[in-house]
Structure 1
Amino acid sequence: MTWILLAGAILSEVAATLSLRMASQPGGDRRWFVAVGIGYPVAFSFLALALDAGLALGVAYGIWAAAGVALTALASRVLFDEPLTRVMALGIALIGAGVLLIELGAGHH
């Protein structure tokens, strides 16, 4: 259950961030700010519930932040035609490796 809550936190945060981009781009529809105003509190609520359910803070926050960065970069490429260079792709891969190491390390305390 903790992982479902963390996934909800990640997806809510990414949706809010993408909505912020939609609202703030030139000619953007300001109604997207409603999704921003809802998405971030929902993300923090899911994160708090995941912590309350027993997920360690370092693991939860590390995965939340890293997955958010990676998913936002990928979605920005698709939705906004923003650049995604090889160096950026390598960074995303390193983020994934870092998240894996955090999770593996958490099991050995």
Structure 2
Amino acid sequence: MTAYGLLALAIISEVMGSTFLVKSEGFTKFVPSIVVITLFSIAFYLLSQVIKVIPLGIAYAIWAGVGIVLTALIGFFVFRQTLDWPAILGIALIICGVLVINLFSNATGH
């Protein structure tokens, strides 16, 4: 699997883990807490494999940017958390930053 495929799986694992953080209710619920720990472990293992190929700064920028956007969307659609215009603008700027890195940077390793 390519490094970007592994990065996608790492991001998905991290976002799912973050989603279960809500369900763990501050690590007071056993099963959701175990799910959080498992998913974050998978996410960090996959990220450790990704940075063998993609420079750390680039991999982490993509990880953080995409993770923030997906987590915000899950918060909005699943948990009915509101996003005001400044939040939406910030998320749009994060998306732009990830696109600039991937489309124009020679540091991405692709």
Normalising by structure 2, we get a TM-score of 0.87
Task: Note the 1:88-103 alignment, pairs <5 A.
Answer: 88-103=87-102
- Structure 2: give runs of 5+ residues left out of the alignment: none
Percent sequence identity over aligned pairs: 36
Q: Which amino acid letter does the alignment assign opposite residue 58 of structure 1?
A: G
- Structure 1: give runs of 5+ residues left out of the alignment: none
- The answer for the alignment partner of 1:21 in structure 2 is 22
CA deviation digits over 1:14-51, x for unaligned, max 9?
A: 000100111117xx854211110101110001111111
**8 Å Cα contact 2:13/2:40 also seen in 1:** yes
**8 Å Cα contact 2:58/2:101 also seen in 1:** yes
- The answer for the alignment partner of 1:35 in structure 2 is 35
- Residue 73 (structure 2) pairs with residue 74 (structure 1): yes
Moved more, 99-108 or 7-16: 99-108
- How many residue pairs were aligned? 106
The whole-number CA distance in structure 1 between the counterparts of 2:81 and 2:4 is 30
- The answer for the alignment partner of 1:45 in structure 2 is 45
The whole-number CA distance in structure 2 between the counterparts of 1:48 and 1:108 is 18
SS at match of 2:14: helix
